[in-house]
Amino acid sequence: MQARLLLVEDDERIRQALGLALADEGCDVVEAASGEEALGRLGTTPVDVVLLDLMLPGMDGLDVCRTLRDRGDLPIIIVSARTDTADVIEGLEAGADDYVTKPLVASELAARIRALLRRRHGTGEPRRSLRVGDVEIIPDEDVVRRAGREVHLTRTEFRLLVELAAAEGRVVTREELLKRVWGYDYFGDTRLLDVHIRRLRRKVERDPDEPECVVTVRGRGYKAGTPG
Amino acid sequence: MVRIVRLTLRRRVAAAFGLASLVVTGVLAAATWNLAGDYMLDQREMSAVRQAEVNVRLVDQALRTGADGLDDLLSGLTSDSESTVLVSRPEGWITSGRRVDPAALPPPLVSLASSGVADTERIVVDRVPVLAVALPASVRPDVYIELFPLVELERTMGFLGLVLASGVAASGLLGFALGAWTGRRALRPLTELTTAASRMAGGDMRARLPDYADRDLAALASAFNDTAEALEARVRQDARFAGDVSHELRSPLTTMANAAAVLRRRRGELAGTARQALDLLLSEVDRFERMVVDLLEISRHDLASDETGAGGTTTELVDLGELVRMVLDVRRCTPAVIEIEQPAPLVQGDRRRLDRIVANLLDNADRYAGGAVRVAVLHCDGRARLEVDDAGPGVAPHLRERVFERFARGDQAGQRGQDGGSGLGLALVAQHVRAHHGTVRIEDRPGGGARFVVELPTAEG
């Protein structure tokens, strides 16, 4: 699988080194040194995944992330030296699918990219539609409807909902969700999951503060709410 | 050895108040008692002397007219009072009233009176305090002595003494109570200062003293608040510095790690010396990366505790059994025995750090003892217990504390570079365990090797 990546990174040395190493991992790398340049490149070159640094000159990485998210569900991985919880949450809230912290090696990044793209392309086999409360999921059409109206989810949110719905009310632990949705090895960092669950709830729940579809099971994980 | 017990300031203030009021009222009471006693005694003495003078005149008359009426007179004089009358005549003593042995009288009193000098004296006769008035009779060397009992006076004095003494005691107690109250009131700012200081010591950098109207207190409060402000600024500055350092180190490390990955792939293209140098470089880049990441983690912890104060804590309810299973799974680590008690203990904590604890203990076993042979998650006295056993050489008792220090390396101290560890793994374990209010220690594994035991408080519910 030859994935085309857009690497948005202002530090030239990091950009070069990561570019070389990712090319070694079998990726086709397009580089951009700023947010503006990145958005410009995207207008002309179709890419599969965006790797986004947060500290960029001019347009901030978070703004780039939000802009891209508004345009569609192009997978975004934030690659940042900021490790504080607040930064991670902010980045994910801006719409990123994943958040990795520097220093990181290309092989790890490649594994995450592959997982993200698997999420995007699906497994290929036809799947039956699922239902959680008044939310209907049709995996083959990548469509989610709540009370008949279509809800737009990112690929990550979609996979998360499918995993929960497929468990049919059984508890799915946080670790299982991380592994199945993000695909890479358990990372111990569940801020990723927390923010995505929150985002998902905002889209599918009638009242995100009183979730009925995505229910927390204290100390264990999550489950799909029982319909009705 | 005598240990001097120092009282608290508040107690000392109370004691001083109590003592002062005790001394003042004591002096007053003593003066009152003395003055009143003297005055009453004087009064009694004057009236006694006056009565005795009247009586002696009657006795004189009786003596002059003949001794016949003397006895009647004497019994008449003493019939209505408690007093005793003794008349010394050349032929002997004539007494009347309460019986008193004339020999019990002090001889100077009698001899003085017989030489013509009147005298009064307080004496005790037959255990009864009396006022003895000795008057010379007009017929020498006859002496008239009348004893007036002072029981009534003594009783009055006793009562007065009792009243005064209880007054002194009461005022002492009152003084103590007042002192205690004053002390507490006066020291209230000190209590607030203590509270604020201990909050700061506990990591809450926003603890401040209120503004006091009192000028002395205002100075103290503003001094404290200035110090706190400076400290907070300093801590924030340090945190920002740590953050900057973190960022500045992570960036070049990313470049190095990825350039190293590219080189590693092309290692075969190099030969001889160059390849050897490359191998060295690559392994050191790896070690450097681990060390920097661990160092940043350790310094980040200091920041995170700050964050916790601001409410940015990331704790959640964690199933320790599940967590351990996942860590083992990810590391593809399969110790011979995995013992997870069901239901596994739940811990309120930061998942990332708990993860790190388990991973670092497994790392340690891999690095120094040929890998973990048993991993257990148990309930133990209401606490969650994680055990990681290895079959290595074990850890000598004198090193069991030290291995948790930063850059400590058991017996191989000084032989760095062999293992590629950061030297911070166990220090991070200890730090993360502490952050979860738990303990970590090393025991002997039955059958040889070391057993790392982590105990954490379980979450209720």
Q: How far apart are CA A101 and CA A97, in angstroms?
A: 14
Q: What is the pLDDT of residue B273?
A: 92
Taking an 8 Å cut-off on Cβ atoms, the answer to whether A107 and B261 are in contact is yes
Q: How far apart are CA B316 and CA A66, in angstroms?
A: 28
CA distance A23 to chain B (A): 9
Instruction: Tell me the angle at which helices B9-65 and B70-79 cross, rounded to the nearest 10 degrees.
Output: 150
CB B285 within 8 A of CB B255: no
Provide the Cα torsion B169, B171, B173, B174; round to 10°: 160
Look up residue B31 and give its two tokens: 């003066």
Of these ranges, A32-36, B55-59, B348-352, B394-398, the one predicted with the greatest mean pLDDT is A32-36
C-beta neighbour count of B180 within 10 angstroms: 17
**Phi/psi at A149 (nearest 5 deg)?**
-100, 140
Q: How far apart are CA A221 and CA A173, in angstroms?
A: 4
Q: What is the pLDDT of residue B121?
A: 84
Taking an 8 Å cut-off on Cβ atoms, the answer to whether A220 and B319 are in contact is yes
Is A173 an 8 Å CB contact of chain B? yes
In this structure, which amino acid lies at residue B233? A
CB B408 within 8 A of CB B427: yes
Residue among B246, B254, B303 whose CB faces A104 most closely? B254
Name which of A82, A70, A108 is nearest A191 in CA terms: A82
Look up residue B307 and give its two tokens: 């964050």
Average pLDDT for B44-72: 80
Q: What is the pLDDT of residue B442?
A: 93
Terminal C-alpha separation, chain B: 52
Cα angle B26, B28, B32 (rounded to 5 degrees) comes to 115
Please check the confidence at residue B239 and state whether its pLDDT lies above 50: yes
Q: How confident is the model at residue B207 (pLDDT cuts 50, 70, 90)?
A: confident
Taking an 8 Å cut-off on Cβ atoms, the answer to whether B254 and A186 are in contact is no
Angstrom CA distances, A45 to A49, A69, A88, A193, stand at 12, 17, 28, 31
User: Which of B:355-384 have CB within 8 Å of A?
Assistant: 355-356, 359
Please check the confidence at residue A77 and state whether its pLDDT lies above 60: yes
**Cβ-Cβ contacts under 8 Å, A13 against chain B:** 252, 255
**Cβ-Cβ contacts under 8 Å, A186 against chain B:** 326-327, 329-330
**Cβ-Cβ contacts under 8 Å, A102 against chain B:** 250-251, 253-254
Average pLDDT for A11-40: 93
Average pLDDT for B177-200: 85
Q: What is the pLDDT of residue B171?
A: 92
Q: What is the pLDDT of residue B79?
A: 67
Is A189 an 8 Å CB contact of chain B? yes
Q: What is the pLDDT of residue B412?
A: 54
Cβ neighbors of B452 (< 8 A, separation 6 or more) are: B361, B364, B365, B387, B388, B389, B440, B441, B442
**Cβ-Cβ contacts under 8 Å, B317 against chain A:** 218-219
Angstrom CA distances, A178 to A174, A183, A204, B315, stand at 6, 7, 20, 18
Mean pLDDT of chain B: 83
CB A91 within 8 A of CB B242: no
Name which of A69, A205, A183, A201 is nearest A133 in CA terms: A205
CB B173 within 8 A of CB B112: no
CA distance A199 to chain B (A): 18
**Cβ-Cβ contacts under 8 Å, A104 against chain B:** 254, 257
Q: What sign results for the dihedral spanned by CA atoms B384, B388, B393, B399?
A: negative
pLDDT per position as a tens digit, A127-172 = 677 888 788 888 777 788 888 888 888 888 888 888 888 888 888 8
Is A27 an 8 Å CB contact of chain B? no
Please check the confidence at residue A217 and state whether its pLDDT lies above 60: yes
Look up residue B209 and give its two tokens: 């003293």
Taking an 8 Å cut-off on Cβ atoms, the answer to whether B254 and A103 are in contact is yes
Is B314 an 8 Å CB contact of chain A? yes
Q: How far apart are CA B202 and CA B190, in angstroms?
A: 18
Q: How far apart are CA B319 and CA B384, in angstroms?
A: 10
Please check the confidence at residue A84 and state whether its pLDDT lies above 60: yes
**Cβ-Cβ contacts under 8 Å, A55 against chain B:** 247
Q: How far apart are CA B225 and CA B203, in angstroms?
A: 15
Q: What is the pLDDT of residue B3?
A: 56
Angstrom CA distances, B355 to A52, B358, B360, stand at 27, 5, 9
| pLDDT above 70 as % of chain B | 91
Peptide bond into B343 cis (omega under 30): yes
In this structure, which amino acid lies at residue A53? D
Is B124 an 8 Å CB contact of chain A? no
Please check the confidence at residue B77 and state whether its pLDDT lies above 90: no
Q: How far apart are CA B150 and CA B156, in angstroms?
A: 10
Please check the confidence at residue B322 and state whether its pLDDT lies above 50: yes
Terminal C-alpha separation, chain A: 43
Please check the confidence at residue B176 and state whether its pLDDT lies above 70: yes
Look up residue B228 and give its two tokens: 């706190």
Taking an 8 Å cut-off on Cβ atoms, the answer to whether A17 and B256 are in contact is yes
**Cβ-Cβ contacts under 8 Å, A191 against chain B:** 314
Q: Is B51 helix (H, G, I), strand (E, B) or coil?
A: helix
Average pLDDT for A207-211: 83
**Phi/psi at B380 (nearest 5 deg)?**
-150, 110
Q: What is the pLDDT of residue B5?
A: 65
Taking an 8 Å cut-off on Cβ atoms, the answer to whether B250 and A17 are in contact is no
In this structure, which amino acid lies at residue B397? P
Residue among B254, B258, B461 whose CB faces A20 most closely? B258
Q: How far apart are CA B366 and CA B375, in angstroms?
A: 13
Q: How confident is the model at residue A23 (pLDDT cuts 50, 70, 90)?
A: very high
CB B226 within 8 A of CB B234: no
Chain B nearest-CA residue for A12 = B255
**Cβ-Cβ contacts under 8 Å, A173 against chain B:** 319, 322
Cβ neighbors of B460 (< 8 A, separation 6 or more) are: none
Taking an 8 Å cut-off on Cβ atoms, the answer to whether B243 and A102 are in contact is no
Average pLDDT for B301-323: 61
Q: How confident is the model at residue B257 (pLDDT cuts 50, 70, 90)?
A: very high
Taking an 8 Å cut-off on Cβ atoms, the answer to whether A219 and B318 are in contact is yes
CB B88 within 8 A of CB B166: no
CA distance B180 to chain A (A): 50
**Cβ-Cβ contacts under 8 Å, B330 against chain A:** 185-186
Q: Sort residue A91 into left (φ over 0), alpha (ψ -120 to 50) or beta.
A: alpha
CB B182 within 8 A of CB B118: no
Q: Sort residue B417 into left (φ over 0), alpha (ψ -120 to 50) or beta.
A: left
The residue of A53, A56, A102 whose CB has the most chain B CBs within 10 angstroms, and thus the best one to mutate to test that interface, is A102
Q: How far apart are CA B325 and CA B319, in angstroms?
A: 10
pLDDT per position as a tens digit, B296-311 = 888 765 545 444 433 3
Q: How confident is the model at residue B80 (pLDDT cuts 50, 70, 90)?
A: low
pLDDT per position as a tens digit, B81-125 = 678 888 877 777 888 877 777 777 888 878 887 787 888 888 888
| pLDDT above 70 as % of chain A | 91
Average pLDDT for B270-286: 91
pLDDT per position as a tens digit, B374-432 = 999 999 888 999 999 998 888 888 888 888 888 876 555 444 445 667 788 899 999 88
Q: What is the pLDDT of residue B414?
A: 46
Is B251 an 8 Å CB contact of chain A? yes
Per DSSP, B460 falls in state: P
Chain A nearest-CA residue for B328 = A186
Residue among A83, A86, A173 whose CB faces B322 most closely? A173
Higher-scoring residue by pLDDT: B275, A129: B275
Q: How far apart are CA B258 and CA A59, in angstroms?
A: 26
Higher-scoring residue by pLDDT: B88, B229: B229
**Do strands A27-32 and A3-8 pair parallel, antiparallel, or not at all (unpaired)?**
parallel
In this structure, which amino acid lies at residue B11? R
Q: How confident is the model at residue B24 (pLDDT cuts 50, 70, 90)?
A: very high
Average pLDDT for B239-256: 84
Q: Sort residue B383 into left (φ over 0), alpha (ψ -120 to 50) or beta.
A: beta
CB A176 within 8 A of CB A167: no
Q: What is the pLDDT of residue B258?
A: 93
CB A190 within 8 A of CB A216: no
B337-340, strands of its sheet edge to edge:
B337-340, B372-380, B383-390, B450-457, B439-444
Look up residue B292 and give its two tokens: 């920097």
Average pLDDT for A41-69: 91
